[in-house]
Amino acid sequence: MALGSTSRRITLRCRLLRGYNASVASQHKRVTPCLHRPIWLSSRTFSTDENAPFNQHTKHKQRHRAASNAKTYYEAHLASSSPQSPPPSIPYDYFHAEIADRLIDRLDDILTPDNRGFPLALEIGSNGGDFVHHAICSGYQDDLELDPEENSIENEPQGGRGGVRKLVQMDPCQDMLHRDEAVRDTSTATSGQCETYKLVADYEIYPWSFPDGTFDLVVSSMAFHWVNDLPKLLMEIKRVLKPDGCLLFALPGGNTLPELRSSLVLAELERTGGVSTHLGPYIDVSNIGGLLTGTGFKLPTVDVDEIAIGYPNMMVLMEHLGRMGEGNACKARKDRVGLGTFLAAAAVYRELYPEDDEGVVASAQVIYGIAWKEHESQQKPLERGSATNKMTEITVTKTSGGD
């Protein structure tokens, strides 16, 4: 098994809009979803572990607050716009939407037997906005080969990118999962897109309610970095995947927001004489391959994007992180950080990491991974000791170039 790894650097420039709203130059195209069917659970509990790095109750409150702010924005926009106006987009969705687009782009590079794709998919952590679903629907494949008996059903969705016809979205935060219901138009649903089923459930409570071998694809965009026990989650994902099923994910790597981290550390040392946790511990890219193979996945492939985004100042960056639901949820964090520390950190940030004398730059390392559940049709290494030639028998012959 070989672990492929590539890296590229992309710069995204954000500009100030109506107070402190950033957007990417290429706006995320909104695709009208179809047949959204909510699935409700009667109770809400979160996994608890004294040694866990993250407080899931705190993270749930942060995401609930972010979803409530988004709904308030929708209500204000709908009240001041005409019925014919296009659905509004949240100014803070630019990063999650961009990463979801890049993640689903990788489905176009995966070939499946008989070109059937992945009819049934599970999304772990929706992050609001239906970013993954929009990305899947934005690349509808007209030439997708379908089973004639399955396709004979009237109005059966034919699937989007990757042949995904049904997407189950699982998230512990009900408000985030149903964030965009007020602006969603289901009357224009067509059979050329994929259905979605929304399930409110904590994916850190095991086992899940799905039988073994349920899904062809499990996808997660920017959700794994808040999981307390990632190996256990990967084992559960492997259980619900069909043989030769695919895991596709994106998560921030260890070199994410180093500018913010160092600025806060320097400011806190100067103001209080100590250091506390301000950013979550992110997994290093060198550990991804071992994590996947250690939990039983085969043929892992990893690549990395280095993304730089410009902001007017550090305070705007922190506001955007909060509006995205990406605030600090570490158990070791301080209950309160003084205003003086933040002002000092903003000054340090502006001095050390300027961008064109107009603002500051924030860096994000995004890790993309693809892995497969074991199947007899997959490539396998030869058994140990089956080689017929020795390394010492290899000879190198030097030749001089001639006319």
pLDDT at 175: 92
Whether cis (ω within 30° of 0) applies to the bond prior to 211 is: no
CA 107, distance to chain mean position in Å, is 14
Q: Checking DSSP bridges between strand 359-372 and strand 298-311, what pairing results, if any? A: antiparallel
pLDDT (0 to 100) of residue 8:
53
What pLDDT does 389 receive?
A: 80
Amino acid at 398: K
Tens of pLDDT, residue by residue, the chain (403 residues): 344 545 555 555 443 333 333 333 333 333 333 333 333 333 344 455 677 889 999 999 999 999 999 988 888 888 887 777 777 888 899 999 999 999 999 998 888 877 788 999 999 998 877 899 999 988 654 444 444 444 444 444 467 889 899 999 999 999 999 988 877 654 334 445 788 999 999 999 999 999 999 999 999 999 999 999 999 999 999 999 999 999 999 999 999 999 999 999 999 999 988 888 888 889 999 999 999 999 999 999 999 999 999 999 999 999 999 999 999 999 888 888 899 999 999 999 999 999 877 899 999 999 999 999 998 888 887 888 888 888 787 777 777 765 5
Distance, in Å, from the CA atom of 46 to the CA atom of 276, rounded to the nearest integer, reads: 25
Do the bridges between strand 34-39 and strand 195-200 make them parallel or antiparallel, or are there none, so unpaired?
parallel
Q: Say how far apart CA 52 and CA 181 lie, in whole Å.
A: 33
Q: Contact at 8 Å (CB) between 203 and 261? A: no
pLDDT given for residue 189 in this prediction? 43
Place of tokens 């550990």: 287
Q: Distance from first CA to last CA of the chain, Å, rounded?
A: 42
Amino acid 280: pLDDT: 83
Helices 314-324 and 339-352, axial angle in degrees (round to 10): 110
Q: Which residue has the tokens 């672990």?
A: 3
Do the Cβ atoms of 221 and 187 come closer than 8 Å? no
Nearest Cα to Cα of residue 203 among 176, 178, 173, 175: 173
Tally the residues of the chain: 403
Q: Which CATH number fits domain 4-146+155-378: 3.30.390.50, 1.10.238.10, 3.40.50.150, 2.30.42.10?
A: 3.40.50.150
Which is nearest to 171 in space by CA: 131, 205, 199?
199
With helix as H, strand as E and coil as C, how does the chain read?
CCCEEEEEEEEECCCCECCCECCCCCCCCCCCCEEEEEECCCCCCCCCCCCCCECHHHHHHHHHHHHHHHHHHHHHHHHHCCCCCCCCCCCCCHHHHHHHHHHHHHHHHCCCHHHCCCCEEEEECCCCCCHHHHHHHCCCCCCCCCCHHHHCCCCCCCCCHHHCCEEEEEECCHHHHCCCHHHCCCCCCCCCCCEEEEEECCCCCCCCCCCCCCEEEEEEECCHHHCCCHHHHHHHHHHHEEEEEEEEEEEECCCCCHHHHHHHHHHHHHHHCCCCCCCCCCCCHHHHHHHHHHCCCEEEEEEEEEEEEEECCHHHHHHHHHHHCCCCCECCCCCCCCHHHHHHHHHHHHHHCEECCCEEEEEEEEEEEEEECCCCCCCCCCCCCCCCCCHHHCCCCCCCCCC
Quick one: pLDDT at residue 265? 94
Which neighbouring-strand residues pair with 246?
A: 217, 372
At CA 183, angle to CA 179 and CA 187, rounded to 5?
A: 120
